[in-house]
Amino acid sequence: MLLYNVTLIIEESAVEEWLEWMQETHIPAVLATEKFVSNRLLKVLDSPNEGVTYCAQYVAESLADYEDYQLNFAPALQADLQQKFENRFVAFRTLMEFVN
């Protein structure tokens, strides 16, 4: 099992809009790809960065599911994020493997 983590630092002025969009639009769209079996959205409490830091996490059962998502779905979903919140966030993505 793999954990796909998207860490995003968003401007404080955009937090409410972003949270609503994530919960009502983006996360349901990611899950609709059927490449992930679960997800969670977390707020980082001790971030040293300006703005507010969140982690969106998605669990994939296989590397094949993750790679299919990256190839066929991620570009459009990331473009939507970029267009809607342009110049108001930075994001980085990490793929991790469950050890036990």
Cα Dmax for the chain: 39
pLDDT of residue 40: 98
Q: Which CATH architecture has domain 2-97?
A: 2-Layer Sandwich (3.30)
**Average confidence score pLDDT of the chain:** 96
pTM, two decimal places = 0.93
pLDDT tens digits, one per residue of 28-80: 999 999 999 999 999 999 888 889 999 999 999 999 999 999 999 999 999 99
Say if residue 100's pLDDT is above 90.
Answer: no
CA dist 57 → 13, 41, 45, 87, 99 (Å)? 23, 6, 16, 22, 16
Q: Is 44 left (phi over 0), alpha (psi -120 to 50) or beta?
A: beta
Pairing of strands 52-60, 2-10: antiparallel
